[in-house]
Structure formats: structure tokens, C-alpha cells
Structure 1
Amino acid sequence: MTRDFVRRLVRRLGSTVPALPLAPSTRREVILIRPDHLGDALLTIPALRALRATEHRLYLTLLVGPWTREVFMLRGLVDEVLVASFPGFRREPTRNPFEPYRLLFRLAGSLRRRGPMALVVLRDDHWWGAWLGALAGVPVRVGADHPAIRPFLTHPIPLQSQHVAARNLELVTALLTVLGYTDDSRPLAPEAYPLVWPSDPVAARAVRDVLERCCVTAPYIVVHPGSGAAAKCWPAERWATLVDTLAERGYQVLLTGSASEHALLATIVAATSSAPHNLAGQLSLPELAELLRKAALVIGTDTGPLHLAVAVGSPTVHLFGPTRPERFGPWGPRARHRVVQAQLRCPRCGDIGPDRACGTACMMAIDVDDVLGAALELLESRSIR
């Protein structure tokens, strides 16, 4: 019996499994499920801030993967953070095809005992999370009107927006309407619902120490070459050329990445003549935020740290290949952010699965000069100072 067969069978039968009885609760708890990684987590912040800003006092609980728990520990953003190692988002194979469903039933029992009044599935196609809410007997279950999750929802919402941040805002607005609350009528745009990340004095001091150790005295640019999906990678030699060109113009360049990306960054450094600093694996998430906050510019692919750069107010250049900037682009003032993508006839397929390696045509078609031009435009613009 293959994994795909098990998955299809369970999804088909899932909506017919009776829900567990819900425990009574006087707490006005709303469970929000966000299973994915850093970028999607950050793009949830405007919706959470909108919920928190309403006069209706709801107890907000986030159910997230361990990989984004730190994002949601911001003071006052939510009341509680629950962690689950969501199947399909671990970036490692599941050995037992039945394990995701054992976890599902365990979590359903846990949610049933909490007795939440509502649940919101923030990812359009997350049928596992939607079924979790149905199995736990949560009376109000809100999510996108997507075929994969529609059978498990009480209120499937036809979303009109393209951008993920706006879609999150649509869902929480729909939740308030379903619960009988009024919501504001501001446009679903960054100006009305900004993406922000608060400063951290402790992390800022640590970053000052890093900059002193690296002898960074000139305005610096942060380059984040890595990505959680190989299909979004840009060739190392092009990063090296870009870094050297920026260094020739008087900017010191810092390369950032996770510990697992150290080899990639080392390859880039080895191909340069300017020897940029390799900070892979050396910064916590709050420290990375503070490093980005002080940068003259941040350059990278469609990845979480670039959204973090937007959140701290730094100007950014985003390289887009298989994913669509209308959906995942910078959620911030247009004057401060640039998207660079190849002008190919093929549609943005969105295929960033593990079977796709580096070197996709849409990333290979991005020229160094295009990225450099966008970077210099921002660096020379008075509007970002």
C-alpha cells in the first residue's frame, strides 16, 4: 500500500468520520492553524494584529510547526502557541504512512478538551488541519473555499485577494463576521495592515558585537542566497559576481543563511575577490532581524528572511522564479521594494517540490545586471532613506 493511496483514501473517508463531542468552555478561544514555514508565518502577522486590535476580546491560540514557534512568541501577538510537527512540512520523509493520522487523532482529542469556539485554517489547501478541526468538533471552522478542505469546513470562504497576507486578512475578517462581530472596512493593503517586527535590544547588542568582529564600518548590504526550496535558488557564481560589484561600489556585504547553508555560502565566498563575511548559522532569528534592520539593502530569493527584512523596514530586492510575486511578494511600500523576475512565456508554475533541483529555467534566466540595477535604484533613491 503506497503513501499516496493511503493519503487519498483517508482524505476521501475523512469527512464521513463523526466528530468527537466538544468539551464545554467559557473561554472565547479561536484556534488558528499555520503549518508552513517562516515566510508564510511572517505573512500571518498582519492578520493576527488585526484580530488583536478588535474590541472583541478573543483568546487567540496558534497551532504551528516547531520551525516557526519563535515567530509567534512576539509579545502580545497571541495568547498561546501550540506546536505540532505537521506532516508534509517537516522537510524530511515520513517513515510510517499512518503516523500523520495517529497524530491527527491525538491532537483532535487535545483540542476537544480545550473546547474552542472557532478554528481558522490559514493555508488554502491544508486538508489535514481542516479535518483536525472537524474531528475535534469545533463548531465554527473557517478556511478558503478550496476543494481539498471544503468538506471539513462549516464556512468555506471564496477569497478574492491574491497575496497571502491579504488572504489571511480575508479569513480573519470572515471569522469576525461569522461570529457576529463587526469588522473595519480598511482596504486589505500593507498601508492599512503593515507587516512589522518589533526591535529587540538584546539581539541588537549581539549584532553590534558581530559587526565589530567583522570590522564592518561602511554601509552594509545583506545577501541571503539560500531558500527552503532548491527550485528557487540562483547560481552561486552569479551571487559572487553581484557581491563583488557591490563591494566595488563601497558597500560591505554580509552573507546570511542557516547552518545547513554554510557550504553554499562558502562556495559563493570562494568565487569572490571581495571576501564577504559568511554568517551562516551564527544568528538567532531575533539577531537576524536586527542585522537586517540596520542594512542599507537586503537581497535574496523568495524566502522567509526577505519577508523579515520587509517587516523590519529595510529596502529589499527579491528574485522570483517559479513562485508568483502577486501571491508571495513583499508586503510593504512599493517604493522600498523591488521584484526581479525573468520575462518568460511560461506561467509561474509554483512547483517548488523536493524533486526539482537548482537550475530551473526561470531562475537561470535572471541576469546579474537586472538584480544589480534594482539594487542600485534603491540604494540611490532618496525615498528609502
Structure 2
Amino acid sequence: MSDKPYRILISRLSAIGDCIATLPMAAAIKAAMPNATITWAVSCAARQLLEICPDVDRVISVPKRYLRTPSDLMAMRRQLRQQPFDCVLDPQSLTKSAALGWMSNAPLRIGFAKPRGRELAPWMNTVSVDSDPDLHVIDAQAELLRPLDIVPGKPQFNLNIPDDVSRWAKQHVTETVGDPNPVIMNPGAGWDSKMWPAERFGQVAAWLRNEHKIPTLIVWAGQRERELAEQIRQVSDGAAVLAADTSLVQLAAVLKHTKLFLSSDTGPMHLAVAVGTRCVTLHGPTRPELSGPYGPEHLSIQKARFDGTSRQRRSADNWSMRAIEVVDVCAGLTQMLSRSSRVAA
């Protein structure tokens, strides 16, 4: 453990789930170097979570297309050089993330070598770390700390949810479904290829009520997910109920009040993991051992694996998700509910 002051920039701009999966990096730095000052550059809604993370001292908002707008580019350069950095960590390792480190003029800029490092990132960073492509994203990002002589322990997701938000979440969940610990599901995904059919979510919710007397709460964000949530409610014949529109911080608090969380590979899944909620996750175009819920307490279901480039997997339809049947998910939920019953006993 070092007491040396150190100014570090984490350049993890997007997406929400990936930013959440990077939180253990900040925790490991603070554990090894308590006097380090950590600044995080972000361009998505994950900023809300970074602002309640005690391991992050400062957050810089980056315009999503800053590299294409000269005025934004120059503004970012000025901001990054106002407070010099000793080190930049680039877990995203794309041109847009590596360029921030390069513009900061930090003497040490650590990112991934190929294939995790893509585009111009391996040339813009001063140290390129080789990483096993079969490592989970959280374990891979821990390897970026090797040049700093930091050996992380068990990943920690430190989020200080405000007490008033926690109280609201407990009340909202109980009043909405009549149960303080329902199953919570989220039908959304960043890629259409990662979407599981809404009617199947609805059938699972009806099964949970009929077989286990457990209600379902649907969390959602944006108009599209709201429409999917409404489809789920209708198919479930009222067994599933829509949650309120929430911020990410409110969602984190809501996710703490659940027996299980069910979703595809998406941001709310990573948030559920971060707050200690057990997950059942559905995978098609992504590999659960690489980007699924971290830890043995979760269960991932994959019936068809779609191998291809990131672009190909992103642009595909959801055939690999449709390979997962309702019976597969019900069996997984039964297994997980049985585990919790044994623990309670």
C-alpha cells in the first residue's frame, strides 16, 4: 500500500454496463493508494453512479462526438490540462477514449494491446497491456493495474446510495407489487440482437405467480422499454407490474429489493450485480463468461452461441436469444429460488 499522492484519470466513456464493470478498478486503486485522486471521464448516464461512488473524486463529462467537433475537442484539451495527470487508465481502449489521455499529456497512459485495444488506442497509449481474450471484462481490466504494481483483491462496487433514495425504493417496491422482495425483470438491451421476446418475459411472470406466488416488477427506461414492459404486463395477465420511471441511482436502490433479477446482457444487470443482487441472465450474441454477471452466485443461460465480430453480433437479429425457451428460464429461476430457500432454512 502506498501513501504517495497520485493523479489518475480513468477514461471509460461508455456504455453504462461497462462503466459499472469498471468500478472495481477505482476501488482497487483507492485500496492500494488511499491518497490517489481519481478523475473519471464519461459520456453516458453512468455519471449518476460515479457521483455516488466514494472511490471517484471528480467526474468529467465528455460530449459523445467530441472528436468530430473542433470546439468540443479544444475545450476537452483545455479542461484535461488544467489539472495535470500522472497516469491515465484506458479500459475502453478505443480512439475516443485514448485520445483523452493523449490530449492530457500524462506521461503514463495505460491501455490494452490488440485485440482488446482497437482502432488507434494501442498507438496513443504509452503502455499496452496484453490480456487473455477469454477473461471476464472485470478481470481483464484488473490487468491494467499491473504497471502500477497494484494487485486487486475481490472486485468491489462501492456505491453510496442516499438514505432517502433507499427509503423511497423500499416503499415503492412494496406498494407497487404488495411484496418487499419480488422478482424484478428488465426487457431492454443495447443491441436488438440481445433482446428476448417480451411475450416470453410475460409468460415467465405468469408462471412465477402461478407456481411460486411471487409477483414481478418490471423496470424500464425510455419509451421503447416502457412499451415492452406494457406488453409483458398484458401477457402476464397482471402478474407483472411496471415500476416507476427511475434514475440510475433510484434503479440501484430498487434492485436491492428483489429475490432475483432477470434480464439479458445489459446495463441494469451489471447494476444488479454491483448492489449485491443475484441474477438470472439470458445470452445470445455475447458470452456470459466474458460479460455476464460476475461471480458464482449468478446463473447465465445460453442455448445458441453466435460468434462473429462485434459489428456482426450487434447488427444481427435476435435468433440466438429466441433459442432460449420459456421453460429454460423457468428451470433456471426454480434452481435459483431453491438456492435461496436452502440459505434461508
Aligned match for 1:138, one of 102, 106, 111: 106
Residue correspondences, number: 333
Inter-CA distance 197–355: structure 2 relative to 1 (3 Å threshold): same
Q: How does 1:61-100 map to 2 (within 5 A)?
A: 61-87=39-65, 98-99=68-69
Aligned to 2:298: 337
Contact persistence 2:110–2:144 (CA under 8 A): yes
Identity percentage of aligned residues:
24
Aligned to 2:198: 236
**TM-score of the pair, normalised by structure 2:** 0.88
Q: Displacement of 1:218 after TM fit?
A: 6.9
Contact persistence 1:324–1:350 (CA under 8 A): no
Give the distance between the partners of 1:306 and 1:384, measured in 2 at CA: 23
Aligned to 2:307: 347
- Residues 254-308 of structure 1, C-alpha deviations (whole Å, 9 max, x = no match): 11111321111111212222342112x5222232222221211110110111111
Give the distance between the partners of 2:339 and 2:231, measured in 1 at CA: 32
Which is further off, 254-263 or 210-219? Answer: 210-219
Inter-CA distance 287–132: structure 2 relative to 1 (3 Å threshold): closer
Which is further off, 204-213 or 144-153? Answer: 204-213
Max radius of gyration: which structure?
1
Structure with more of its chain in helix, by fraction = 2
Aligned to 1:272: 236
Partner SS state of residue 299, structure 1: strand
Give the distance between the partners of 1:41 and 1:50, measured in 2 at CA: 15
Aligned to 1:213: 175
Inter-CA distance 293–98: structure 2 relative to 1 (3 Å threshold): closer
Partner SS state of residue 380, structure 1: helix
Gaps of 5+ in 1: 1-25, 89-96, 178-182, 187-191
The residue identity in structure 2 corresponding to 1:127 is T
Q: Displacement of 1:200 after TM fit?
A: 3.6
The residue identity in structure 2 corresponding to 1:39 is G
Give the distance between the partners of 2:18 and 2:152, measured in 1 at CA: 24
Contact persistence 1:52–1:77 (CA under 8 A): yes
Inter-CA distance 341–229: structure 2 relative to 1 (3 Å threshold): same
- Residues 108-163 of structure 1, C-alpha deviations (whole Å, 9 max, x = no match): 23212322111111113x11221232233221111001252111111111123621
Q: How does 1:26-41 map to 2 (within 5 A)?
A: 28-41=6-19
Q: How does 1:274-293 map to 2 (within 5 A)?
A: 274-279=238-243, 282-293=245-256
- Residues 284-340 of structure 1, C-alpha deviations (whole Å, 9 max, x = no match): 2232222221211110110111111112222210001111212111113x1x21000
Partner SS state of residue 67, structure 1: coil
Give the distance between the partners of 1:87 and 1:318, measured in 2 at CA: 32
Give the distance between the partners of 1:185 and 1:220, measured in 2 at CA: 34
- The RMSD of aligned alpha carbons is 2.4
Q: How does 1:350-361 map to 2 (within 5 A)?
A: 350-351=310-311, 355-356=315-316, 359-361=317-319
Partner SS state of residue 54, structure 2: coil
**TM-score of the pair, normalised by structure 1:** 0.79
1:120 equivalent to 2:89? Answer yes
Q: Displacement of 1:224 after TM fit?
A: 0.8
Q: How does 1:178-327 map to 2 (within 5 A)?
A: 183-184=150-151, 186=153, 192-217=154-179, 219-248=181-210, 249-260=212-223, 261-279=225-243, 282-327=245-290
